[in-house]
A and B are shown apart, each in its own frame.
Chain A
């Protein structure tokens, strides 16, 4: 039963990622990215990373994806081919993206995947023979680690996030 759920989430992740590659509509791409991120969050749960799955949902689905949708909406130029006489409600509002030299990209990505998968299938990771952790939650360990071993990276990353968000707000404002 768990195996079926695991493989269905794998299929959801990969199928929506392939759809993101194939679609030309930018808004569809954003919603397929949402499905991919949900699938990755579910795979985090299967790998025993519950806190990380929740933060993936909060940060990516709640934050980054909304930002991306705002970016799509704010940089949308309506197609000039539509005559102005058409009512606004009947105009097509699709936002499309072109593909440039798709074969080179697909060849490169396919070659990368071929090499990586051959490497991973032939490799034997010693760490995989160790017993898997059976602890019910990781929040305990993550909280302790963040306040002891990783307290300096934690503070640095919080400063980085603050600076980046203030800088983003400054960059995006209207210049006179």
Chain B
């Protein structure tokens, strides 16, 4: 790829991160907030990969984003099981209604 497309990848990653931040701040459904977090993690991966193509011998960026993908998968599994437990307890996953720390 031409060098200028790396700059475009960085801009796309910045836009994806901002959209993910807006999703996390705006939406009130716990699962949608999780989707916003996944979007932000993907933007970070895109940044790492964009810089990693200039490092073909060691590929540190790609390996780091591989680890990020694994951590994101683990985080999604734990977060969804917690959301299911919260739903069993409070019968809702709307974040505005979850105001009790203990019940």
Chain A positions within 8 Å of B57 at CB level:
141
Q: Which chain B residue shows the least CB distance to A17?
A: B19
A55: chain B residues within 8 A (beta carbon):
66, 69
A17 surroundings in chain B (CB, below 8 A): 15-16, 19-20, 39
Please determine whether A109 and B32 come into contact, CB atoms closer than 8 angstroms.
no
In angstroms, Cα B50 to Cα A51, docked, is 14
B14 x A120 contact (CB < 8 A): yes
Determine whether the beta carbon of B74 is less than 8 Å from that of A164: yes
- Interface bits A1-20 vs B (CB < 8 Å: 1, else 0): 01000100010011001101
| B8 in contact with A10 (CB, 8 Å) | yes
Tally of B interface residues using CB under 8 Å: 74
Please tell me if the beta carbons of A132 and B1 are within 8 angstroms of each other in the complex.
Answer: yes
* Interface residue count on the A side (C-beta < 8 Å): 86
Whether A104 pairs with B25 at a CB distance below 8 angstroms is yes
Contact partner of B28 among A30, A44, A100, A161, CB < 8 A? A100
For this complex, 27 residue pairs linking A to B, each with C-beta atoms less than 8 Å apart, are A21-B23, A30-B31, A47-B9, A47-B46, A47-B52, A49-B62, A49-B65, A52-B49, A52-B66, A55-B66, A56-B45, A59-B72, A60-B38, A60-B42, A75-B87, A98-B28, A106-B26, A109-B18, A109-B25, A112-B18, A120-B14, A132-B53, A133-B53, A134-B56, A164-B78, A165-B74, A168-B78
Produce 1/0 per residue, B71-85, CB < 8 A to A.
111111110111111
Asked if A142 and B66 make an inter-chain contact with CB atoms under 8 angstroms apart, the answer reads yes
**Measured CA separation A46–B67 after assembly (Å):** 20
Q: With the chains together, A110 CA to B15 CA distance in Å?
A: 9
Q: A52-B62, A161-B70 are in contact. Are A20 and B56 (CB under 8 A)?
A: no
Q: Mark A120-134, 1 if CB is under 8 A from B, else 0.
A: 110001011111111
The answer to whether B62 and A138 touch across the interface, beta carbons within 8 angstroms, is yes
Q: Is A129 a contact of B3 with CB atoms below 8 Å?
A: yes
Closest-CB distance, B51 to chain A (whole angstroms)? 7
Q: Are A157 and B12 in contact (CB under 8 A)?
A: no
